[in-house]
């Protein structure tokens, strides 16, 4: 202990009561050297020394007064924050609960809708992949008619008279003028009728007479 602190001579009146700052620093330096030398002899690294509290020159009454003032200030700060808030009433609590339930229901519906859309999208993607993975079937080529197969006879298109009349509707046909000049075929026809009457048997003649 004598090496750690400087010796105080009792010769002077002031020297017996006060210690200078230089003496304190020198004593601390010597103590650190002794600390390191002791661990060096053991072959170990000295651990860090505990930090000493800074010197407080206040008296005990001043320290107690400062602690009391700090506690009073802390208590006033807590009560100040507590006075800013008040307890909720029953109707306010019910209103807030209804809002919270409504928000929860909207969130549930939104998640359900998102789930349905996601499932539909996955089904559409799966169906498209299945369509792409299916083998493409070759198109059936038309059969060529062989030379041995007989061709089907073409059915002639028969147009009815009504269709012809409808097609000729609106066409003006000029009538030929009737000529009073007998054609040369008329006397020939009369002569042929006379010859037939001559060649006919008599029975026919009698029948004609009886009919007349």
Instruction: Tell me: pLDDT of 29 over 60.
Output: yes
Give how many domains the chain has, as a whole number: 1
Q: What is the mean pLDDT of residues 193-199?
A: 57
Q: Is the pTM of this model over 0.85?
A: no
What pLDDT score does 1 carry?
A: 43
What is the SS3 string spanning the chain? Answer: CCCCCCCCCCCCCCCCCCCCHHHHHHHHHHHHHHHHHHHHHHCCCCCCCCCCCCCCCCCHHHHHHHHHHHHHHHHHHHHHHHHCCCCCCHHHHHHHHHHHHHHHHHHHHHHHHHHHHHHHHHHHHHHHHHHHHCCCCCCCCCCCCCCCCCCCCCCCCCCCHHHHHHHCCCCCCCCCCCCCCCCCHHHHHHHHHHHHHHHCCHHHHHHHHHHC
- Whether 45 maps to a domain, the answer reads yes
- Whether 25 maps to a domain, the answer reads yes
Residue range(s) defining the domain that contains residue 3: 1-49
Instruction: Tell me: pLDDT of 112 over 90.
Output: yes
Q: What is the mean pLDDT of residues 144-171?
A: 57
- Whether 140 maps to a domain, the answer reads no
Q: What is the mean pLDDT of residues 106-112?
A: 93
**b/e string for 154-188 if b means 16 or more Cβ within 10 A?**
eeeeeeeeeeeeeeeeeeeeeeeeeeeeeeeeeee
Banded model confidence at residue 65, pLDDT cuts 50, 70, 90: very high
Cα 39 from Cα 42, distance rounded (Å):
5
Instruction: Tell me: pLDDT of 13 over 60.
Output: no
- Whether 118 maps to a domain, the answer reads no
Banded model confidence at residue 2, pLDDT cuts 50, 70, 90: very low
- Whether 132 maps to a domain, the answer reads no
| pLDDT 10s digits, 33-60 | 888 888 888 888 777 776 666 667 788 8
More confident residue, 166 or 61: 61
Instruction: Tell me: pLDDT of 104 over 90.
Output: yes
What pLDDT score does 42 carry?
A: 84
- Whether 90 maps to a domain, the answer reads no
CB neighbourhood size of 71 (10 A): 10
Mean pLDDT, the chain, whole residue set: 72
- Whether 35 maps to a domain, the answer reads yes
Range in 37-46, 79-88, 198-207 with the lowest mean pLDDT: 198-207
- Whether 23 maps to a domain, the answer reads yes
What pLDDT score does 97 carry?
A: 92
| pLDDT 10s digits, 119-128 | 999 999 999 8
């Amino acid at each position: 202990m004598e090496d750690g602190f400087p010796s105080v001579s009792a010769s002077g009146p002031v020297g017996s009561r006060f210690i200078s700052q230089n003496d304190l620093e020198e004593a601390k330096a010597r103590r650190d050297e002794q600390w390191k030398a002791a661990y060096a002899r053991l072959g170990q690294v000295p651990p860090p020394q505990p930090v000493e509290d800074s010197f407080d020159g206040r008296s005990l009454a001043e320290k107690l007064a400062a602690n009391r003032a700090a506690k009073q200030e802390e208590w006033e700060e807590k009560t100040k924050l507590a006075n800013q808030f008040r307890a909720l009433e029953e109707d306010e609590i019910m209103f807030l609960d209804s809002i919270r339930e409504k928000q929860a229901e909207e969130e549930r519906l939104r998640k359900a809708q998102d789930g349905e859309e996601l499932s539909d999208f996955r089904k559409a993607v799966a169906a498209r992949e299945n369509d792409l993975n299916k083998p493409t079937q070759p198109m059936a080529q038309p059969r060529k008619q062989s030379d041995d197969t007989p061709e089907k006879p073409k059915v002639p298109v028969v147009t009815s008279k009504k269709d012809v009349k409808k097609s000729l509707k609106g066409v003006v046909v000029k009538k030929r003028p009737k000529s009073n000049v007998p054609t040369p075929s008329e006397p020939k026809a009369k002569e042929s009728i006379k010859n037939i009457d001559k060649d006919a048997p008599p029975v026919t003649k009698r029948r004609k007479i009886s009919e007349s």
